[in-house]
Amino acid sequence: MRRKPFHMCLMIALLPFVLGPVRAQDLPPEVVAYADLVLYNGKVLTADEAFTIVEAVAVRDGKILAVGDSRRILEMAGPDTRRVDLGGRSVTPGFIDTHQHSSFITSPRRGSGAAFPPAQIEYDTLGNALEGLRARVEQAEPGEFLALSGPTNIVVVQELNATLLDQVSPENPLYIRALNNQVVANSLILNQIPPDTPGILKDEQGRPTGQLRGGAGGVVVYELRPWATVDSLLEPQKARFRRHNAQGLTTIMGRANGLTISVFRELWMEDELTLRVRISHEFLRQNSSPESYLKRVGNLTDFGNDMFKIIGATVQVVDGASMTGSSRTSKAKLNPPEGDPYGPFGQNKWEESGDVATSDRRNIILGNRYGWTISGLHSSGDMSNTILLEAFEEAHQERSLVGRHFGIDHGAMWKPHHFEKIKEMDVIPSLFAKALYDNDDLVSIYGMDEVTTMQPVRSLIDAGIRPAAEADAFDERSSAPLFNMMKWITRLDDKGRQVNPQERITKQEALYMYTLWSAGYSGEQDLLGSIEAGKLADLVVLGGDYLSFPENDLDKLRILMTVLGGRIVHEASGAF
């Protein structure tokens, strides 16, 4: 009995000589496989915690197989492997944008046979508004639902009312939604809103004026407005995503309504997504019956797969846009814009809804209570940040937010007194660079001294916070990750002014913001955001060396190839 172990070891040792050499190509593919793609002879900026730089990376089955020196990685290539000689160029993780809902298609193409799409109007006086609205109604079909998007000014949010709209549109349901989520509607729409819905503004006699806020506005925008057909939106959405692939984007996040989610679901099921999509569901936004919805829907946070996932819910938040002067701020505006209806300190939508207790503030508390992560929250002014953090703190005391990737977006006016609350509750701030370009309106409204305090990226990082990156834009220039990185690195605006050089960050930090730190916004830093073995193979091949390329021209660095899960979704013509 004691001799068996010796005999067994001897047989194992002699097995290779008995069977002969076994070659890799003789084994079934389930046992071993070559890499699908090898990028070598370059600078692979892994963006791991140590910011390791290697020469090459191998990809297999949609994941990173290995990183290392070119000789070792090339040994993983087989007869069908695509080999790309980088020639010293940089490879980075795929770029991740955490607030880019402006790239989600929600309106049908004209002529598609779908519902009348919201049309932008620019009425600066009540007379012009009435004249323009009459002309639009005359062009509409009898009974056609007219949904218009209007400017944020006194005409739309104060002067127009149901009586006037009934006169110009007696047979067509008509509403105008201001840019900051206030709605004015005619009686054909008012009659469809339950009379006890919060946010129906009334006159001194208790009659609805036609002006709607909060939950009442949500009924119009989310429940009454006709949907486009999903099929009419598929091709435009794919085209828009291809444009982002050419910018190096591989993951895009943002708040999304039911129509948008249906579009993504269709593309996902047909395997036609060229970007990973992460959405904060809008079902709680301007919802005056949040708890009933939460009980019916259940908690879907982090539900989905690698391509399409619900990462939380979102609500209507406090303020409007800094460029319109509707940010909620602690300092008064120096020069309010013409027609500004919000007063010196900007907008507070929760107060406008009639009662803060039944506003979307409640929806944050309830959403957290039922297990949802709350993210995708627009916040422009410093007081808006304060108010949101106070709501988060109340939620946190009931159920901890730590480790659950709650997020507040834009970050134009984060102040040092916010930092400890951010860290305590593990809140992720998502930042854009809008104070650093096209900022003439900001300078006029708030003054250059205040603008220099905006986008305090350096201060956040030095406080131990990892901000994520967003563009919240769609035009070719300002939606591009490299453009926004350049702005944070240089702090130079379009006029060449240095907007607080003390807030400059390094190239490595800027890359982290668009990769590993942004992956944390969806709680996926173990899956996305760096080039490490086992992670999803989302990669960008740049047209030069990212670290040595002139920082003032970083937006001119070409995107030669974008790889999504090992699949090439963009390749510049003749690049390799």
166-215 residue pLDDT tens: 999 999 999 999 877 899 999 999 999 999 999 999 999 999 999 999 99
Q: Two tokens at 375?
A: 């993210």
pLDDT, position 120: 67
pLDDT, position 333: 96
pLDDT, position 105: 86
Q: Are 63 and 534 in contact (CB under 8 A)?
A: yes
User: Strands of 303-304's sheet, edge to edge?
Assistant: 95-97, 249-256, 276-281, 308-313, 303-304
pLDDT, position 27: 61
Q: Which residues pair with 281 in a beta bridge?
A: 256, 313
Rounded CA gap, 546 and 263, in Å? 35
Count Cα atoms within 13 angstroms, Cβ side, for 180: 28
Q: Are 457 and 467 in contact (CB under 8 A)?
A: yes
331-374 residue pLDDT tens: 999 999 888 899 999 999 999 888 899 999 999 999 999 999 99
Q: Two tokens at 119?
A: 């049309």
- Residues of the chain short of pLDDT 70, as ranges, are 1-31, 107-120
Residue 412's nearest CA partner among 455, 447, 450, 369 is 455
User: Strands of 428-431's sheet, edge to edge?
Assistant: 377-379, 407-410, 428-431, 468-469
pLDDT, position 107: 53
Sign of the dihedral through C-alpha 499, 501, 507, 509: negative
- Output DSSP code: residue 117: P
Backbone angles phi, psi at 240, to 5 degrees: -65, -40
89-114 residue pLDDT tens: 999 999 999 999 889 987 544 333 33
Q: Which fold, 4-88?
A: Urease, subunit C; domain 1 (2.30.40)
pLDDT, position 17: 47
Q: 96-102+229-527+534-571 — its CATH code?
A: 3.20.20.140
pLDDT, position 5: 53
Rounded CA gap, 115 and 123, in Å? 23
pLDDT, position 474: 81
- Output DSSP code: residue 522: G
Beta strands in 423-543 (DSSP E): 428-431, 468-469, 539-542
pLDDT, position 425: 98
Q: Where are the domains of the chain?
A: 4-88, 96-102+229-527+534-571, 115-224
**Whole-model pTM over 0.85:** yes
CATH topology of 4-88 equal to that of 96-102+229-527+534-571? no
Where do the H-state alpha helices sit in 370-418? 382-398
Q: Are 263 and 101 in contact (CB under 8 A)?
A: no
